[in-house]
């Protein structure tokens, strides 16, 4: 049976993103987004989904663009289009993959299991995790030079 996941502190999320993106990042506790663009699921060693990272369109586009040092206009174009192009979604997957390391430092070892982008629907195990987490952390995140957005981290 999988161990229960644990949530990182907002400052640990800030440090991870600032190091990964090589930019100033501000992270604060926030409110939930009305719609999630990207949902990343993280599985324990036994394959059970124990954590999830959800980002709204603004943050998913920002993280995808900032990782590749693309101009902020690339993120703004995706936001205006209402979805991520393949280049930004691939970069977001890498951010999610690195996030697995942070989740593993504060809780049981996890690895990225899946990333689902709207309008696709997550598989049942990830959907169940997102609909009934044991704990969650809502964050407002801004990356210098890009659009601010929202992230939710969830564990069970």
Which residues lie below 8 Å from residue 86, measured CB to CB, with a gap of 6+? Answer: none
Tell me what pLDDT residue 5 has: 79
Residue ranges, the chain, pLDDT below 50: none
Residues 6+ apart with CB under 8 A from 132: 156
Q: Say what the pLDDT of residue 1 is.
A: 52
Phi then psi for residue 30, to 5 deg, are -140, -155
């Amino acid at each position: 049976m999988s161990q229960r996941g644990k949530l990182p502190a907002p400052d640990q999320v800030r440090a991870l993103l600032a190091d990964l993106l090589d930019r100033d990042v501000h992270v604060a506790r926030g409110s939930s987004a009305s719609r999630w663009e990207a949902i990343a699921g993280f599985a324990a060693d036994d394959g059970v989904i124990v954590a999830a990272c959800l980002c709204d369109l603004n943050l998913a586009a920002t993280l995808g663009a900032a990782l590749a040092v693309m101009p902020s206009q690339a993120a703004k174009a995706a936001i205006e289009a209402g979805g991520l192009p393949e280049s930004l979604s691939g970069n977001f997957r890498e951010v999610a993959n690195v996030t697995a390391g942070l989740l593993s430092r504060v809780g049981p070892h996890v690895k990225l299991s899946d990333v689902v982008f709207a309008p696709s629907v997550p598989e049942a195990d990830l959907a169940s995790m997102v609909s009934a987490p044991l704990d969650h952390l809502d964050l407002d995140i801004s990356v210098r030079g890009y659009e601010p957005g929202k992230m939710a981290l969830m564990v069970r």
